[in-house]
Amino acid sequence: MSAMNTGNLIIIGGAEDKAGECLILKSFVNLSGASKAKIIIITTATENAAEAGNQYKSLFVGMGAQETTFLDINSRDDADHEMNAGLISASTGIFFTGGDQLRITSILGGTKVYDALHGAYKSGAVIAGTSAGASAMSRTMIVDGNNNDAARKCTLKMAPGLGLLERALIDQHFHQRGRIGRLLCGVAENPSILGIGIDEDTAVRVFPDDHFEVLGSNSVTVVDGRNIKNSNVSELKPDENLAISNVVLHVLPAGYGYDLAERKVIKVRGRFCTGSSPL
């Protein structure tokens, strides 16, 4: 993430609480300006745009954000429309629903809406995404891969993302769908990229100073491959198992954070760094 950005990201692992305390969604609304928020819901990831858009609009309005609009950007013509780009530029909070992350990037990439999104983020807007909307945040995103499976090269497919979060790879519904294998494979293929697996009803809030803090009821798994000693990822044939050594793994619940630049765990209350252990 560039130091030029003044906005925040809220990256949600999917299935966030919508009926109870709604901690994650309320955090997004409050950070966007609470009663003064101007929130845009982007439903590009889903083919059920009206259903998803109206659901989140009702939730955000109920949380005090009266000026909430959802945009059904369903084609590249929609994404190049000046009015849609203008609405995003004027917003204080932008929310991406779940669905298919490849729809987000293939429809928005290189358009006026894409440019407006990056401009809004650099100017201080909060950008949030859940499930597919979370995966699309990073420069490189996971678009497919087997769940509950051993780490194998053929189980993982990646593509360019929105590029709001640099040097990281996001996976969502993480422990609930057994996705550690595919995240390890992604980190093995590019050890300079940090793997971040976010559980359901859990989010990371990424601050402008390149650290994140964990929100929600479950955990965030961080896979750091910077010190990998050996890996067979470049020699793997289809269905062969990945070998990898000296990966560092952190599991972080609420109350913890992570310094993305220094690659250190932070205890949010007291802000001290804890040790790490190899996988």
Active site residues: 131, 173, 200
Select from 109, 88, 77, 86 the least CA-distant residue to 41: 88
Q: Dihedral sign for Cα 169, 175, 180, 182, please.
A: negative
CA distance linking residue 49 with residue 33, whole number of Å: 25
Select from 275, 161, 261, 260 the least CA-distant residue to 213: 260
Which tokens is 53 given?
Answer: 């858009």
